[in-house]
Amino acid sequence: MVRNKLILATAVLSGVALATPAAAQNEQFIPILSYRTGAYAVNGVPFANGMADYYNLINERDGGINGVKLLVEECETGYATDKGVECYERLKGKGPTGAAFFNPLSTGITFALTEKTTTDKIPIITMGYGRSDSKNGAVFAYNFPLLGTYWSAADIAIQHIAKEVGGFDKLKGKKISLLFHDSPYGKEPIPMLEVLAKKHGFEFTPIPVTHPGVEQKSQWLAIRQNRPDYVLLWGWGVMNGTAVKEAAAVAYPREKMIGVWWSGAEPDVTPAGDQAAGYKALMLQHGAGKFPVHAEIEKHVYAKGKGLSEPGKVGEVLYNRGMVNAMLGVEAIRKAQEKFGKKPLTGEQVRWGLENLNLSDARLKELGFEVMLKPIKISCSDHEGAREGRVQQWDGKNWKVISDWYTASQSDTEPLVGDVSAKYAAEKNIKPRDCAKES
């Protein structure tokens, strides 16, 4: 049972935490802000398991990062912003050098922490979520929306729709609705979709769904009346499965629904059963499936009885995403060690590692992530690092990749990033860094 795994998680993670004082001086503290309880636990648990298992792999197989053991502690946020901030305050100073970085797994928590992390000089990794304007590292020095922002996701979704309808010129006059979680997360793609609607001439209608999204009859009856050509789904937790079921109830074709990458995991479709067949979702590069890194985890973590997931769930979409998220953090620490030495590092030093992270195909292969990910290169001006995605479709039993790679168009996203981040800098009195002088 997943809850039993929580007990195991505590035991495994505290095993590291109870190291001797001398050893503790050579440990890098990494907090995990997770949600294993509450309305969003269905999605939060596999993500947290993927992260924790990867950190365990680094400790068990490699003895840490260049001999620096990882000291990991989970804090339960329940996807609530207030609890997320509490967790941050409690954990930011732990370990010999404080927290290396935070992964809040919540756009709401990200908004709440952005100023604090800058003041405390601790980077915040928001892989595939968070503030889209924080792609601009010149303004948001400590935010890292790695692999893709919601503005990139919106752009990729519209690219795919354009391909399906026969070209961007065919988008004119089409109706595209956005069914979104009424929260900072769900609202984030709206400005980008408004820009794209204006550019391509489609009619855009945002439709909010109140947390947690168990009741959506009104929204789907409105969709039944308006008959949009496509529905983009920006949901989380129970909202996703309910949306797919309600779509079936009003006979809206699931093939015309495209979820963001947080609406494209197994728990989002299994409650709907056969009714979910045909539903599509974006991929944050990777999907489900096992790759060489999974064999390593099974050998060094699960074989020792230290794995947190049910074995059958290793390789599911959100487990893999947690693992990818953990790997990017680990590689940032490794990069920072090249400059600052093989010792526990401060958040500020790890920030440098993140900003100079460059994972080539060859390096990804060494890490066991080939095929799952494309190369990623972060820089001062580009804290996103990569903006590729694909589209997958649920066939009733499995996710199948149905598209080639798309790359979000920077000519679409960059003006909005520039405008919004400049406005933020002016509001907060931040002087943007000169990225030409950063190294």
Q: Which residues bind other proteins (CB under 8 A)?
A: 1-4, 36-39, 41-42, 45, 182, 206-210, 212-215, 217-219, 221-222, 224-225, 237-238, 241-242, 245, 248-251, 267, 270-273, 275
Contacts of 282 (CB under 8 A, 6+ apart): 153, 156, 157, 160, 258, 259, 260, 261, 264, 389, 390, 391, 392
Chain centroid to CA 153: 11
Please identify, using beta-carbon distances, which residue of 24 and 190 lies nearer to other proteins.
190
Contact 324, 359 (CB under 8 A): no
Residue 340, burial from CB neighbour count under 10 angstroms (0-12, 13-18, 19+): middle
Least spacing, CB of residue 39 vs other proteins, in Å: 5
In the complex with other proteins, which residue's Cβ is closer, 208 or 289? 208
Q: Please state the closest distance from residue 198 (CB atom) to other proteins, in A.
A: 20
Kindly state the smallest distance separating residue 295's Cβ from other proteins, in Å.
25
Closer to other proteins by CB, 1 or 22: give it: 1
Closer to other proteins by CB, 197 or 250: give it.
Answer: 250
Tokens standing for residue 88: 């941050």
Q: Smallest distance, Å, CB 40 to other proteins?
A: 9
At closest approach, how far in Å is the CB of 8 from other proteins?
A: 12
Our CB check for other proteins shows the closer of 208 and 368 to be 208
Q: Which residue carries 């995605």 as its tokens? A: 389
Q: Cβ contacts of residue 132 below 8 Å, gap of 6+?
A: 145, 149, 150, 151, 152, 188, 189, 192, 413, 416, 417, 420
Nearer to other proteins, 103 or 242 (CB): 242
Closer of 123 and 278 to other proteins (Cβ): 278
Report the relative pairing of strands 69-76 and 406-407 from DSSP bridges: unpaired
Residue 64 has what DSSP assignment? S
How far apart (Å, rounded) are the C-alpha atoms in residues 245 and 254?
10
| CB distance 67 to 342 below 8 Å | yes
- Minimum distance of other proteins from residue 275's CB (angstroms): 7
Q: Whole-angstrom distance between the N-terminal and C-terminal Cα of the chain?
A: 47
Q: Closest approach of Cβ 292 to other proteins, in Å?
A: 27
Question: At its nearest, how many Å lie between other proteins and the CB of residue 219?
Answer: 7
Task: Give the nearer residue to other proteins in terms of CB position, either 248 or 336.
Answer: 248
Structure-derived torsion over alpha carbons of residues 137, 141, 144, 149, reported in degrees to the nearest 10: -40
Helix (H, G, I), strand (E, B) or coil at 384: coil
